[in-house]
Amino acid sequence: MPPASPESLSPWVAALARHGHENASLIAPDGTRLELPPEVFEVLRDVVAAMSQGLAITVAPQHTVLTTSEAAHLLGVSRPTLVRLLEAGEIPYEQPNRHRRVRLADLLAYRERARRSRAAGLDDMVRTSEEDGLYDIPLDEPFERMPTDDDR
């Protein structure tokens, strides 16, 4: 469940980003100081950052197996779209009976690959636009057509 006022977490986000995981610790209700391993600190930092953006958080072990509906929801796509990705071999799955199951680790790996692919595509678009001089066109002047190689 996202927090009622995500902006209230901004100081936490700043503090967790500013301080590294060295010597990170929690104080238990009985006053015991618990040293946090770097991996735990990073999860805490990521959770607070996501919550500060108003996002709901789910923490689950990566060996968790999801239904196609749960997997589609996590990716933000329809179930039929997810099934197409599964059948195309983009995401591994198991089908012990009539129902497909997707491992959370495989789903997260696909999501990261897709994110990197999108970022690379955007980088290519920017590079091509720069090479074609599209950033040199003043925004306040309308143009009739896109510049071509003949215009150079």
pLDDT per residue, tens digit, the chain (152 aa), is 667 788 888 888 888 888 766 778 889 999 999 988 888 888 888 888 888 888 878 777 767 899 999 999 999 999 999 999 999 999 999 998 899 999 999 999 999 999 999 999 999 999 998 888 877 777 676 666 666 666 65
Whole domain around residue 88: which residue ranges? 65-131
Residues 6+ apart with CB under 8 A from 3: 9, 51, 52, 54
Residue 107 resides in a domain: yes
73 with 114, same domain: the answer is yes
Distance CA 34, CA 27 (A): 6
106: left (phi over 0), alpha (psi -120 to 50) or beta: alpha
**pLDDT value at residue 146:** 62
79 with 125, same domain: the answer is yes
Residue 141 resides in a domain: no
Residue 4, Cβ neighbours under 10 Å: how many? 7
